[in-house]
Structure 1
């Protein structure tokens, strides 16, 4: 795969699903972003909560950036999580990342949002045959989620095989949304 350019992945209009809206991250999302970076449950498999300086940097870095999206409840507009699409440093493929606030886990929001994003990315990147997702080996909820959305285990990696890569092929993107499990996240957060 050639260089991954996210510039064409900026949203000109929100992606709308049955229950959710995927939109660009706004400064008004600061409370949700801060919780994503500091909640011990969300950050359990990602090195723990971030320090205040890192939180400020991440909050600023996510606002309005192509490839970084806020997931909000369609009916209320409440921001509940983040999605990202970018380059997987190890494989050079596209990589999807996700993280949701704990009170919104196990409601199928992750499945609905990630599915919508995958469909949208595959429409815009015709040469992408798969999208990778990395998570920790011991993050069973995230591994089950990736398998539920069509991800296939590719490999374990890290000094002690503490991480795993899944590949979600274009041909394997499920056709349904709105069911499945919510999880802490993959690791970009």
Structure 2
């Protein structure tokens, strides 16, 4: 029974096989594995493939629902966060640390906040204390990119939390390795913005 096949060089194939008693033992092991899977899935061996495919489809459907719910929660959270925005030298600033949000969700939240804000500077941060990681994203609306650069802002904060980043004038991301330093770093953002706008 051939168990594997691979190309080792141009025009050369390598196969691995088992024979005799080893082949019989292999098939018995495969049969036992299929039986255990069938028991876990509450399906007969011949129904396992269809049952697994059904579970994959269900999983994909649930993942889509979860993403939709996350988007709705992010929208609600974004509306709540706007109440914490402050005005620095005539420019609206929102710099905040988020809870219960993953680093990969920051981009979507930033885009939504920029639309709702209309004009302003935004810095969002997520700290994972257990993993020792910080995720940062900065955004500047188009009307302000000639005065404030998102990359400079995100690097100002990242430098204080053991990291660095980069990006465009309107959007930049960074990471860090010192979540315990994040609150203090965020406190310095208003003064940084005020100096930048001078």
TM-score normalised by the chain length of structure 1: 0.32
Structure whose CA Rg is larger: 2
Please give the TM-score of this superposition, normalised by the length of structure 2: 0.31
Q: Which has the higher helix share?
A: 2
